[in-house]
Amino acid sequence: MPPVRTRIAPSPTGDPHLGTAYIALFNRCFAHRHGGSFILRIEDTDRERSSAQSEDKILKALRWLSLDWDEGPGRDGGKGPYRQSERSAIYSDHIRILLEKSLAFPCFCDEKRLAELRREQMRLKRQPGYDGHCLNLSADEVARRIESGERHVIRLRVPREGECVFEDLLRGEIRIQWSQVDMPVLIKSDGLPTYHFANVVDDHLMEVSHVIRGEEWISSVPKHVLLYESFGWDRPVFCHMPLLRNPDKSKLSKRRNPTSIGYYQATGYLPEALINYLGTMGWSMPDGEEKFSLADMEARFELERVSLGGPIFDREKLDWLNGRYLREDLDDAEFARRFAEWAFRPELIGKMAPLVRQRTSRFSDVTSLAGYFLQGELSVSADDFAHKQLDQEACRRILLYSLWTLEASPDWNRDAIEARLQELATRMDYKIRNFLFPLFVAITGKPVSLSVFDSISVLGLDLTRARLRAAIESLGGISGKQQKILEKEFKTL
Ligand code: GLU
């Protein structure tokens, strides 16, 4: 049997997600259980949405959780580079092979034509998708149009008849009609590969034996299978893991639950407890023990024992488990050390210092002034938001719109935050003093405090989001229906 090689392939387009850690954990356990290697590959071919900052956060989050990789950025295993943006020449070589065999074809259809096509298909209640318009252009015409510099993409030729059959390690045989599979773009008009193409080429060249990933990728498998066949390569074993869910069974989302690993770090969970908890998502130790280390899990892991019922990520359960770690695994000295390590994080204390230094005469004043930097969600109640000119609904709107405004702004320095919130206040037609009142209460716990813009900047998006959400909940929350109405209003502000 060839060596077991697994991988995770995150796209660095946002904050490190719990789902990435969960899939990384299972990939790593499976590889190590079988004496194989766990690879990290960065899928950064979407130039606009990828950033070095996001990649850096993902790498740090994985390391914090002890999910470091055997091969990947900074750990050469001879199959690199491990960043897709550095592998362009490889993709060019490979697309040529498919073009020569006519298994892929240049497509000159522009956005306008594709949009019209989609509209027409919707009107006729047909499956939307590419209609094969450029499939049979003559070689001369293709050459001429490319020569003249016409914008084009390269698509994969997908059969229109029959079905694609593949095995999933957990789900058995899966059949999907080829007519349900769109002819995917492999190379975009900017010359860069798409996810499907780069992913398959890299999995093959990096000798990945098992593709273990979230179930949202099942519908992509036919495209991948076709690519493997087109190149004449063996397929890897596919295994699609069940998605993490909120306690109400909906897909885990940041609206209901913090999904960013940064939140768990900032609120003082132990990485070993979080990893342990993720290990219980759809899996259990053969002896049923709920508390186990990463090493234990790696030693006893069996992929076949993953259960497909959507695993529920329940914060209360995580808190209980984290509490067990604090009580059972740390003695007083170790607790003191780990707490100090968390509380006196240089990046936090360094940012707090300039805010409090001018306003204190003794160190002992610091906690009453700035203790909220070390808290998670604050315990605020509806009464804390009582205000002469703002009722509860107004407070909820201000908090929610501020959250959406902040989520949309990549720039997290205090001046950018101030400018954005000032602008929102103007658009909502509030005096800035009134507008900031609910934000002060939600973010700092008090109506008067250190600058709320600085506080948001220091706390970061994860904690800011959690506090704004908690405040909105304490003000009665927002129903799904209201949320939709408010989304509309927010867009037209
Ligand atoms: N880049 C994809 C992602 O962001 C990888 C999916 C896969 O594992 O194939 O999740």
- Residue in this structure with the two tokens 């954990």, named with its chain if needed: 25
pLDDT of residue 328: 97
Spatial contact of 186 and 193, defined as CB atoms under 8 Å apart: yes
pLDDT of residue 458: 96
Strand ranges across the sheet with 237-241: 172-177, 163-168, 237-241, 210-214
Reported as a single tens digit per residue, the pLDDT across 355-375 is 999 899 999 999 999 999 999
Crossing angle of helices 195-205 and 88-100, in 10° steps, is 100
pLDDT of residue 239: 97
**Does the pLDDT at position 168 exceed 90?**
yes
Verify whether residue 254 is a known catalytic residue: yes
43 lines ligand 1 (CB under 6 A): yes
Distance 304 CA to ligand 1 centre (A): 22
pLDDT of residue 57: 95
**Does the pLDDT at position 25 exceed 90?**
yes
pLDDT of residue 409: 84
| Cα–Cα distances in angstroms (integers) from residue 103 to residues 138, 145, 199, 489, in the given order | 15, 19, 18, 48
Alpha helix ranges (H) inside 109-205? 111-123, 139-147, 195-205
Reported as a single tens digit per residue, the pLDDT across 394-406 is 999 999 999 999 9
Indicate which residue of 223, 254, 446, 481 is catalytic: 254
Mean pLDDT of all residues in 222-239: 98
Q: How many angstroms separate the CA atoms of 39 and 82, rounded? A: 9
pLDDT of residue 127: 86
Nearest CA to ligand 1 atom 10: 10
Distance 204 CA to ligand 1 centre (A): 15
Check residue 78 and give left, alpha or beta (phi > 0: left; psi -120 to 50: alpha).
Answer: left
**Does the pLDDT at position 254 exceed 90?**
no
Distance 198 CA to ligand 1 centre (A): 11
Position in ligand 1 atom list of the atom nearest CA 213: 8
Task: Name the phi and psi angles at 75, rounded to 5.
Answer: -140, 85
| Cα–Cα distances in angstroms (integers) from residue 291 to residues 29, 107, 200, 295, 318, in the given order | 16, 54, 37, 12, 11
Crossing angle of helices 414-428 and 452-474, in 10° steps, is 50
- b/e for 220-230, b at 16 or more Cβ within 10 A? bbbbbbbbbeb
Of 43, 37, 45, 44, nearest to 77 by C-alpha is 37
Spatial contact of 236 and 166, defined as CB atoms under 8 Å apart: no
DSSP class per residue in 207-242: T--EEEEEGGGGGGHHHHHHHHHHHTPPPPEEEEEP
Q: Which two tokens stand for residue 167?
A: 């095995």
pLDDT of residue 480: 87
Q: What is the pTM of this model?
A: 0.93
Biggest CA-to-CA distance, the chain: 81
Q: How many angstroms separate the CA atoms of 99 and 489, rounded? A: 49
| Cα–Cα distances in angstroms (integers) from residue 77 to residues 74, 198, 199, 472, in the given order | 10, 19, 18, 49
Position in ligand 1 atom list of the atom nearest CA 20: 10
Spatial contact of 50 and 195, defined as CB atoms under 8 Å apart: no
50 lines ligand 1 (CB under 6 A): no
Q: Which two tokens stand for residue 50?
A: 């990828």
pLDDT of residue 485: 94
Mean pLDDT of all residues in 320-328: 98
217 lines ligand 1 (CB under 6 A): yes
**Does the pLDDT at position 27 exceed 80?**
yes
Q: Which two tokens stand for residue 111?
A: 């956005």
Categorize the per-residue pLDDT at 1 as very low, low, confident or very high, splitting at 50, 70 and 90: confident
Q: How many angstroms separate the CA atoms of 239 and 259, rounded? A: 23
Mean pLDDT of all residues in 438-454: 96
Pocket test residue of 26, 45, 195 for ligand 1, highest count of atoms within 8 A of CB: 195
**Does the pLDDT at position 410 exceed 80?**
no
pLDDT of residue 2: 82
Mean pLDDT of all residues in 268-290: 95
Q: Report the amino acid identity of residue 211.
A: V
Distance 46 CA to ligand 1 centre (A): 12
Q: How many angstroms separate the CA atoms of 72 and 42, rounded? A: 8
Distance 410 CA to ligand 1 centre (A): 23
Q: What share of the chain is helix, strand, coil (3-state, %, to 5)?
A: 55, 10, 35
Reported as a single tens digit per residue, the pLDDT across 452-484 is 999 999 999 999 999 999 999 999 999 989 999
DSSP designation for 244: P
Q: Is 278 helix (H, G, I), strand (E, B) or coil?
A: helix
Mean pLDDT of all residues in 281-310: 94
Pocket test residue of 43, 58, 196, 241 for ligand 1, highest count of atoms within 8 A of CB: 43
Q: How many angstroms separate the CA atoms of 130 and 164, rounded? A: 18
Q: How many angstroms separate the CA atoms of 480 and 486, rounded? A: 10
